[in-house]
């Protein structure tokens, strides 16, 4: 991973406390993505009144609360960070539409004791980079069309199966197009940085999948749902250009393609689609019950249904339905609890979930489990931790 001029950024704004290192790291990431910091008085929000710079203001780390203003493409953004009980809560806001991202980091988990030395300050720069990128920066990075990654996937697939000279001519033309696009957009991290590109592409695919899955479970069967499932499956296919897909992503891809084909055929034939696959938590309960009574939990196709007829029409190129649909599908849509909780309890639960996520990033499983259990107690029993 490229950490060019991170060291110079670090030395230009020497840290007085551990949390300063994290803020400096975020500042460096924002600079890499085209943001400039404003050296303005407290409360200054007029972008045109001051010029954006790369160096942090002189008083940026004077106390335990940070507030920095950044500008990109004429739009004002505000970064706020607060030190609370050994943790740093970071928030990034785009003022125009009030779009917000946030992340909570345990300072001692990411910053070493000799924090005034660049070589010793960061325990794992790559993990810190990936976490801040995913949780804080990605939503504000200029998006690149998935078409670029899609064409790269097409090129790699074509090179593996080409048979005729005409095939090679087409692939060489595609290769030239990709090289030109890469040069023209080299300043865009969604093109130049594979980690950013992968995160962006997966984010788009998951949003499409979750929307389609929600509509499907509410029995809103239409072509838009089919297209969303199909597009999510294709985009997750494209993610393979970054390496082998993990098990959850591969399962989502398989389910999205199967569900798109199934809904498409049911819409054409007028049949009622089968129930969606249970979510992971539902599947776990079903598996336990079925094991107790000696039943199999595998979903089976409807009796009398012919898979040979389950071929998608040319209007949308969806693969035929597999013999057995995936038994479960990982989604990020959670069921709402029947317990009445207060807004304060919801905030408390969110805080514990963020702590758990941060702990898992650094492979601290016991801390993650402890915080998830605290979040459950807050939501299920209303107990404050």
Q: Is 343-381 the same fold as 201-332?
A: no
Report the pLDDT value the prediction gives residue 315, as an integer from 0 to 100. 41
- The reply to whether CATH 1.25.40 applies to domain 201-332 is yes
Closest listed residue to residue 103, CA positions, set 350, 332, 331: 350
Report the pLDDT value the prediction gives residue 317, as an integer from 0 to 100. 42
CA gap 15, 118 in Å, rounded? 10
Looking at the domain 6-140, which fold is it?
Answer: Protein Transport Mog1p; Chain A (3.40.1000)
Centroid of chain to Cα 246: 14
Decide: 101 and 135 in contact? Cβ < 8 Å. yes
Report the pLDDT value the prediction gives residue 151, as an integer from 0 to 100. 60
Closest listed residue to residue 13, CA positions, set 60, 79, 62: 60
Sign of the alpha-carbon dihedral angle for 138, 280, 226, 307: positive
CA gap 9, 25 in Å, rounded? 8
Report the pLDDT value the prediction gives residue 297, as an integer from 0 to 100. 41
CA gap 233, 205 in Å, rounded? 8
Residue 144 in tokens: 């690149």
- The list of the chain residues with pLDDT below 50 reads 42-45, 144-145, 147, 281-323, 330-338
Centroid of chain to Cα 36: 25
pLDDT digits (tens, 9 = 90+) for 163-195: 666 666 666 776 776 667 666 666 665 555 666
pTM higher than 0.85 for the full model? no
- The reply to whether CATH 2.40.50.140 applies to domain 343-381 is no
Please state the length of the chain.
385
Closest listed residue to residue 204, CA positions, set 127, 280, 141, 278: 141
Decide: 323 and 301 in contact? Cβ < 8 Å. yes
- Half-sphere exposure (CA, 13 Å, Cβ side) for 359? 15
Calculate the average pLDDT of the chain.
75
Spell out the domain ranges in the chain: 6-140, 144-192, 201-332, 343-381
**CB environment 119-128: b (16+ within 10 A), e (fewer):** eebbeeeeeb
């Amino acid at each position: 991973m490229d950490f060019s001029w991170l060291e110079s950024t670090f030395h230009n704004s020497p840290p007085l406390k551990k949390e300063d290192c994290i803020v400096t790291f975020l500042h460096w990431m924002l600079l890499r993505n085209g943001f400039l910091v404003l050296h303005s008085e407290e409360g200054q929000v007029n972008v045109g009144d001051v010029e954006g710079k790369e160096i942090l203001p002189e008083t940026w780390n004077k106390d335990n609360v940070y507030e920095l203003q950044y500008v990109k493409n004429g739009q004002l953004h505000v970064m706020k960070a607060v030190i609370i009980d050994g943790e740093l809560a970071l928030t990034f806001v785009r003022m125009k539409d009030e779009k917000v991202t946030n992340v909570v980091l345990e300072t001692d988990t990411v910053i070493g004791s000799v924090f005034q030395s660049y070589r010793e300050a960061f325990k794992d720069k790559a993990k810190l980079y990936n976490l801040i990128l995913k949780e804080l920066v990605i939503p504000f990075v200029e998006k690149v069309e998935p078409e670029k990654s899609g064409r790269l996937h097409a090129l790699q697939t074509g090179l593996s199966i080409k048979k005729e000279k005409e095939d090679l001519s087409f692939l060489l033309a595609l290769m030239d197009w990709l090289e030109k696009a890469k040069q023209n957009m080299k300043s865009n991290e969604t093109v130049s940085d594979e980690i950013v590109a992968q995160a962006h592409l997966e984010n788009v695919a998951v949003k499409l999948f979750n929307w389609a899955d929600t509509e499907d479970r509410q029995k809103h069967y239409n072509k838009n749902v089919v297209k969303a499932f199909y597009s999510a499956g294709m985009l997750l296919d494209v993610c393979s250009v970054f390496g082998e897909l993990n098990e959850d992503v591969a399962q989502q891809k398989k389910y999205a393609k199967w569900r798109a084909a199934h809904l498409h055929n049911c819409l054409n034939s007028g049949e009622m689609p089968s129930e969606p696959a249970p979510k992971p938590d539902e599947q776990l309960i079903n598996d336990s019950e079925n094991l107790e009574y000696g039943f199999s939990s595998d979903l089976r196709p409807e009796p009398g249904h012919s898979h040979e007829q389950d071929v998608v029409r040319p209007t949308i190129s969806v693969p035929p339905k597999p013999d057995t649909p995936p038994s479960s599908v990982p989604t990020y849509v959670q069921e709402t609890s029947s317990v009445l909780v207060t807004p304060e309890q919801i905030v408390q639960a969110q805080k514990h979930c963020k702590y758990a996520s941060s702990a898992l990033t650094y492979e601290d499983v016991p801390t993650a489990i402890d915080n998830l259990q605290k979040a459950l107690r807050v939501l299920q029993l209303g107990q404050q931790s």
